[in-house]
Amino acid sequence: MIHLIVGNTGSGKTTYSTELKRKTNGIIFSIDKWNKTLFLSDKKSTDGLEWYLERIERAEKMIIDLISQLESSKIDSILDLGLSKFEHREKFRKFASLNGYEFKIHFLDISKETRLNRVTKRNAEKGKTFEFEVSKDDFDFMENWFEKPNEKEMNGGIIIGE
């Protein structure tokens, strides 16, 4: 089973993924952790969105290979990859369908106020789910970037509210 964890910045995707791991004994793929480990030390101040997107695409090629290996072993994959756009989610749905893998979308539908409070707290405390600081500008950018899943996408999925 492939679990697509969807939610805007600060919605609790990593925390939710950790809880889902406990329930399923699955493996979490957290794009924030991959980015921090593999790419952020090389980032220049002039690098923008395209720099991130290109590296995410490279990481996801490896993640897709690992998902196939896990599916062969009957181990769940928990994708904490942001999945902010319909097209990005569709990529993984098509991959699952083409390979005969089950998938489920989990949408964390959390208010902007709650999410901003969480991000501010995470930036200050630098606790378990902290990988890098999210500025207010970055948070605001994601408010316009994120595409909420539609009713058809959520068919058979799980919606988590506050």
* CATH value at residue 51: 3.40.50.300
Q: At how many degrees (to 10) do helices 49-72 and 86-99 cross? A: 20
pLDDT digits (tens, 9 = 90+) for 69-80: 999 999 999 999
95-134 tens-digit pLDDT = 999 999 999 999 999 999 999 998 898 888 887 777 767 7
What pLDDT, on a 0 to 100 scale, did the predictor assign at position 123?
84
Give the pLDDT confidence score for residue 28 in this predicted structure.
Answer: 97
User: Is the confidence at residue 155, as pLDDT, over 90?
Assistant: yes
Q: Structure pTM? A: 0.86
Query: Rounded CA gap, 38 and 50, in Å?
Result: 16
For residues 111, 114, 120, 126, the Cα torsion angle rounded to the nearest 10 degrees is -110
Lowest mean pLDDT among 16-20, 27-31, 56-60, 155-159: 56-60
Residue 11 lies in domain? 2-160
Number of domain units in the chain? 1
pLDDT at 62: 94
